A and B are shown apart, each in its own frame.
Chain A
Amino acid sequence: AQKITQTQPGMFVQEKEAVTLDCTYDTSDPSYGLFWYKQPSSGEMIFLIYQGSYDQQNATEGRYSLNFQKARKSANLVISASQLGDSAMYFCAMREGPDSSNTGKLIFGQGTTLQVKP
């Protein structure tokens, strides 16, 4: 069964420092995609970064990078040079491939609340 686990309910980081948010996943489908979203208090889900299961290199998008360790089934988000505006809830999510009975279904972790201190 597909599952996403985020073990850090809350994290603090000093402004300008880097922070890693943990995410592990479980799936039996060889084809899947992993996402990270940011949700500020307004409620909007903001797409940050995506990693496909067949991608050879770790995904990067500006200050965001995804540390993808396929054998360990982990997809940690790294935010470099944290900013005050990074304070929000962060969700890891997974979607299985087109041949899966779960295709079209995005499964989310419980989220990590990140607070950036000035």
Chain B
Amino acid sequence: KAGVTQTPRYLIKTRGQQVTLSCSPISGHRSVSWYQQTPGQGLQFLFEYFSETQRNKGNFPGRFSGRQFSNSRSEMNVSTLELGDSALYLCASSHTGWYSSGELFFGEGSRLTVL
């Protein structure tokens, strides 16, 4: 069974540009959530999608957006990039919105550097 796949793994952008990150969940998983990891703020929740609907959103500005497609693949977009957006962006997938087995797995992340 393939794991969670995130693309691209590494990317470099300049301030003001926009970026789109992709996440393909484990087959059969319908929930995808996104997290930002920085040395200063740690791991912070961005948003979660379940069956194409955004169910929850973290405390991030509107420049951060996402969506989920009918095949459960998800994308997140950051517009007008700032230096502080440099981070590791992690995607996690689970079978349902809630689970009793702890089935919540992460991809390897997309490391974004903003110059």
Contact = CB atoms under 8 A, between A and B. Distances in A.
Interface of A: 33, 35, 37, 42-47, 49-52, 91, 93, 95, 97-98, 101-108, 110-111
Interface in B75-110: 88, 90, 92, 97-102, 104-109
A35 B42 CA distance: 16
Contact of A106 (B92, B109, B111): B92
Interface string B24-44: 000000010101010000110
Given A45-B90, A108-B42, A33 B56 contact: no
A32 to B, nearest CB: 10
B99 A33 contact: yes
Contacts of A91: 43
Contacts of A52: 100, 102
A50 B108 CA distance: 20
B55 to A, nearest CB: 5
Nearest to B41: A110
A49 B101 CA distance: 10
Interface residues of B, number: 28
Given A47-B102, A97-B98, A104-B50, 17 more contacts: A43-B37, A43-B108, A44-B106, A44-B109, A45-B90, A45-B109, A46-B106, A50-B101, A50-B104, A98-B98, A104-B31, A104-B48, A104-B55, A106-B45, A106-B104, A107-B45, A108-B35
Contacts of B33: 104-106
A52 B98 CA distance: 11
Contacts of A101: 56
A102 B100 CA distance: 16
B104 A95 contact: yes
A103 B106 contact: no
Nearest to A59: B102
13 contacts: A43-B88, A43-B109, A44-B107, A47-B104, A49-B102, A50-B102, A52-B100, A91-B43, A95-B104, A101-B56, A105-B45, A105-B56, A106-B35
